[in-house]
Amino acid sequence: MKERLLFTLVLIIGIYMIVPWIATRIFAIGVFRKGKLSSQVALTFDDGPDPAYTPVLLDLLRRHGAKATFFVLGSKAERYPDLIERIHRDGHQIGIHNYSHKSNWFMSPWTVRRKQADRSADIVASITGTKPVVYRPPWGVLNVFDLFLLKSYTVVLWSVMPKDWRSRVGRTKLKSRLLSRIREGSVVLLHDSGDTFGADADAPGYMLNALDEVLASMKQRGLEPVRVDELLNSSLKHRLGLFKRVLVNAWMAWERCFVKLFHLKLVDIGNPLVKLRVREYQGRQSIVLPDGEQIRKGDLVAEMHLDNYTLFRLGIDSRSSVQLATQLIRRTRMLMPEISKLLLTDPQYQHVKGLYGITMIHRGSKQLGFTVFDLPNGWFARMTRTYLRLLLYVVHPNGKERLKEKTNLLEPKIVAISKNELKIRYIA
C-alpha cells in the first residue's frame, strides 16, 4: 500500500513538474527561446525594476541605441511605477515575471494564472496603458497546467544564460561568455536586480560593465539588439520548410564534427566568420603570388574556412549572392589584421607561407590583397564545385534560386595571399 502511494506521488510530481520541464527546456514545446533566421538578438532582463540598477541600464541601452525586453515582478512594478513608465516610454517591451519571485512548481495553476501572471499584467497595464503579452516564469520552470492556462501569453525562455546573478563571475568572464555565446537570433537572459533568492545584491553592477562592451562588439558584428516581439515576428516571417530545416540542422552537425576533427581554430570569438588550420598544400600546380612567393606541393599554408552557421545567418538577410559577397568581404576585412597577427606571431603558423582557401564567393577578395586563381581541371575541381554548390543551397534560404542566377559566377576559385603581403597590408 505504501509503495503504491509512493509511486502515485512520484507519478504526480513527474507529470506536474518534470514533463513540462522536458517539453519546454529540451524540446521548446509551447515556448519561444531562440529566433530563427535573423541578425537580431533579444536582450532580456529579469527580476526588476530596481531603483539602483534599472535607470543605469536604461541609460546604457539608450546610449547604444538598443531595445530590450524587461520581465518585471508585479510587486516591484507597484512600488516603482515611474520606472515601469520610463521602460515603456523608452520603447522597450515589458513582460511578466510573476507578482513575486516564486516557482510555479510550488503553486497551484490557478494561483499562477490569476494571482501571479494576470495580476502583474493588470498592474503594468494600469501604468502604461498596454497589457503585457510575454511571460517568463521564475527560474524558467512551468507546471503542466501552465502550458494550457497561460495561452494568452507567449512564454519566453532563453538560449544564452551567462549566470550573471553571481558576483564571482565578474565583468571579464561575463563579457567573454556573452561574446562567445551570442549569435544571430539569441535570446539572452540577464538580470537588472540582485535581491531575489540565490542572487548577489551587487551582481547587476558587473553585468552593466560587461554589457557596455558587449553592445559595442555586437554593433561591429552587425547584430541588432531588439525586443522579443520583434525577434519573434522576424522569425515567423523567415520560417523555413521542414525539409530545409532538417537539411540545415544536419549540415550544421557536420560542421561541428569537421571543426573538431580537423582542429580548426576560431580567429575572433566576437566575429566567428573565419576559422583556420595549418595543412600541407596538395595542389598539383604551384601557386605563384605577385610578390614572388611560391607555394608548392608539400608547403605549409594556413587554410581558411568560412563558418557555415555565420554564412547561413548572413544569407537570411541577403537579397542576392552579390549582397552576400559584400557582407562577407566587409566581415573578412575586419578580421584580416587579427589573421595577419596570428600568422606572423603565433608559433603554430611559424612555417606557413601564406593564407589559402577555396571558395565560390571570391568577388571582392582582391581588394583585401588576395590573388585569385582558377582551380585546375580534374576530379578535385568537380568534387569541390559540387560540394560548394550544395553548401550554397544549404546556407542560403533561397539557395535553389541563387544557384540559377549567373551560374558562371559560381565557379570555385583559389584565393591566396603571402605572409609578407599580410605584414605589409595589415601589420606594418
- Read off the DSSP letter of residue 14: I
Q: In the structure grid, which three cell numbers stand for residue 120, read together?
A: 502583474
Integer distance in angstroms from the first to the last C-alpha of the chain? 82
Q: What are phi and psi of 278, to 5 degrees?
A: -90, 130
The catalytic residue among 97, 191, 362, 396 is 191
Q: Catalytic residue at 305?
A: no
Q: Do you find a cis peptide bond into 49, omega within 30 degrees of 0?
A: yes
Taking the C-alpha atoms of residue 66 and residue 62, their distance in angstroms, rounded to an integer, is: 6
The catalytic residue among 46, 118, 164, 192 is 46
Q: How far is CA 275 from CA 35, 123, 301, 367, in A?
A: 24, 50, 13, 20
Question: Strand pairing of 354-359 and 413-418?
Answer: antiparallel
> Cβ-count burial of 267 within 10 angstroms (0-12 exposed, 13-18 middle, 19+ buried)?
buried
Q: In the structure grid, which three cell numbers stand for residue 370, read together?
A: 588576395
Q: Catalytic residue at 97?
A: no
Give yes or no for a contact between 287 and 373, defined as CB atoms under 8 angstroms apart: yes
Give yes or no for a contact between 123 and 75, defined as CB atoms under 8 angstroms apart: no
Which of helix, strand or coil describes residue 255? helix
H-state helical runs in 279-320: 308-316
Q: In the structure grid, which three cell numbers stand for residue 247, read together?
A: 537539411
Taking the C-alpha atoms of residue 35 and residue 39, their distance in angstroms, rounded to an integer, is: 9
Please name the residue that has the C-alpha cell 595543412: 279
List, by residue number, the catalytic residues: 46, 191
